Amino acid sequence: MRPVTARMLSGMAVVFAALTTFAIGDSAPSASGDPSQFRVDAAVNGENVSPFDVGSRMLARVAAATTPAVVHIQSERRTRRGTIEETGSGVIMRSPKADGEFIVTNRHVILGAELADIQVHLHDGRVITPVGKEEDAATDIAVLRLKTPGLTFAEWADSDNVDIGHMVMAMGSPFGLSQSVTLGIISAKGRRALELGESREVINQDFLQTDAAINPGNSGGPLVDLHGRVVGINTAIASQGGGNEGIGFSIPSNLVRIIVEQLLEYGEVQRGYLGVRLDDSFDAAAAARLKLDRARGARVVQVYPNTPAEKAGIQVDDVILNFDGYDIEDEEHLIHRVSLTGINKSVRVIVHRNGRQVTLQVVLTQRPAANRRSDAPRPMPQPFPGGARIESSGLTLHRLDAPLAAQLGVSGQRDGLLVMQVPDRAGDDSLQLYDVILEAARKPVRTVGDWDAVLEQQESVQGPLLLKVRRVVNDQPVTRLVLWTPPAAE
């Protein structure tokens, strides 16, 4: 184990030697491999300090310069089940399209809250209320407009120039502990199709992945580079226990800037629309059938009439390989690129068709409102591990996945909510443990968010709620209709 430890420490010495160069302006040490160069102390303010000391001081200066632009946010929204409190973070920014400073944060931090119910806690102890807000569900980005003088603001970095391995700092209020800073690296880029929570509205997923500690409460706070510039907005974590496990996700700054600029100028985001349905299970076998060397690009399974795709000549079984100069990795990547492309723009599209490549020109239109939700590919973060959530309704529900379906004996089932706890009042003709709820009030429920939405819509309805469930009876899966009465309606 000793050789491994030694190599790790040498690696840290290299990192802090580089930080020393940045901090005191000396030329970079040679890559000779001579370990003595890391034992030579550097003179700073007349003191002899090690590269570790200089690196630490540089990190402290970055944190001190950026922290005044980071805010703690508390919001409240009222529902029939009571008041729901949310806490999160944000960062103060500026733009030529805004009169004064504004705050960038996550939409889910202030979702459903009135302006008067949003409190912004500044670094200097002041508590202010925003005077306006704009939100974009498809990226989980929100802008809070301010009319407060004397604010410190941060600057954007170019997230395209951030590479895997670059050091970053996550800033915000994890668990309500404001002015917190953690250090890590960019561990991956272009993360998409993440099963991270409940919302089905998010269609723009292109996350930076970092091992800088991100916890509940960091949502909306900045991920900054070693110049103190914002490279991303912290949004989600991958966690089995609800806390940091070394995998966090941030929306890259270049995407955030596009969204923020449009929200400031138009009050909404104008998104391009192509007009196709894509294969979400495109695999190597399907690629081979279409004479493609491997599973890449996005396969078209339906072309909607009177859309840009139909007018451009896109056909079923075309595999879109390149869109507007971007090589397409999968269907999620294409959805992301199309939605960020300006309307009325003529775009070159390269498709694979019958064993050869065909180039087409597509003029995108505005995404219809009816399609803004239906095209959403994946959910966003939630504070409960694994999709489980206990509601005041007395139920504990868990989003169904393939391993759970196999254990339940309904291996062919992919959608629905598994019932893990029911009130004692439930009987044989009502909801039971191990039931999988497929529909509520004839509306599909695939996430806890879907379930909450149905309950909200049924507030004024008296009596029990009609549920369609999948249940195993005598080792055979059957579908039944049951009646369930929410406690508030009893």
What positions carry a catalytic annotation?
Answer: 108, 140, 219
65 DSSP assignment: H
Residues β-bridged to residue 186: 210
Q: Is 17 exposed, middle or buried (0-12, 13-18, 19+ CB in 10 A)?
A: buried
Q: Considering only CA atoms, which of 251, 214, 201 is closest in space to residue 367?
A: 201
How far, CA to CA in Å, does 308 sit from each of 123, 329, 358? Answer: 49, 21, 16
Contact between 220 and 73 under an 8 Å Cβ cutoff? The reply is yes
Q: Considering only CA atoms, which of 343, 341, 293, 344 is closest in space to residue 321?
A: 293
Nearest-angstrom CA–CA distance, 308 and 32: 58
* Amino acid (one-letter) located at 427: G
How far, CA to CA in Å, does 79 sit from each of 8, 110, 197, 392, 465? Answer: 52, 14, 20, 12, 18
Residue whose tokens read 């279409």: 290
Q: Considering only CA atoms, which of 138, 189, 190 is closest in space to residue 378?
A: 138
Cα of 446 vs its chain's centroid, Å: 19
**How many other CB atoms sit within 10 Å of the CB of residue 299?**
27
Nearest-angstrom CA–CA distance, 271 and 139: 12
Cα of 277 vs its chain's centroid, Å: 23
Nearest-angstrom CA–CA distance, 295 and 93: 41
Cα of 151 vs its chain's centroid, Å: 28
Nearest-angstrom CA–CA distance, 264 and 66: 23
